Structure 1
């Protein structure tokens, strides 16, 4: 299926997500391994949007542990409630940060990161199983449009 992933430049984020989501569904439909699916979702989001960093962290005990990603090396472990990822985990809700320098307790894995969105994903019992973390080199790069579509993307992984 990967050979047929088609990335076409889009005029808006809505049209880019609308084009990508059915392809992601098809890409992961026949694969049951979460790590493999997270790796392909990270790669597809990177190809479509070109964000600075896209990846997953999974809950392991009282920490988030780095999973599949696209981008430069990253923080390996993050405590619950720490930084944007730990905050999204603790709240069980998406967190959008227009300027990471203004977020109390932001964990700077890369000085190039300027804005961030973190979307939790849930296990079959409704507990947070991990988060999708996306960093941009641009300030205020994420909106409610991204939240809505990325929540749909992570729902595919359950």
Structure 2
């Protein structure tokens, strides 16, 4: 992935700065952001980010929560994370189909308008980042695949594979 982004360090820095700005002074927690990225990666079919952030979410919560969100299953997941994952999936798949009721679900789990905006910006930036990686052929690193919990690895049945490491 580093080789892909090395062509334009200025753009890499701008994307990194935009992502940092989206989380600075945000009420979104590390768990919230990890759930957003996991759901975004799963909806996009991005195995690299799904594995990296699935591992991170498993560390912040547990492996079953990460695996469930990677499979698009929100039942049994803490309500705030489930609502954020559902929102991320909607934003990725069809942003024009979101409804006031979808936003109300986010409010019901304690998110205000600012946090909903921040979550949406965060998903959009992650989607752009993942699109570049996927379009240019980024594969999960062998070291990454070997360090994710088994539940997370089993849930990533989409995207590119690390050469010979796993096959979805």
- TM > 0.5 between the two? no
Q: Which has the higher strand share?
A: 1
State the TM-score bracket (shorter-chain normalisation): 0.3 to 0.5
Structure number with larger C-alpha Rg: 2
Q: Which of structures 1 and 2 has the larger relative contact order (alpha carbons within 8 angstroms, sep 6+)? A: 2
**TM-score (ref. length: structure 1):** 0.33
TM-score w.r.t. length of structure 2:
0.31
Q: As a proportion of its length, which structure holds more helix?
A: 2
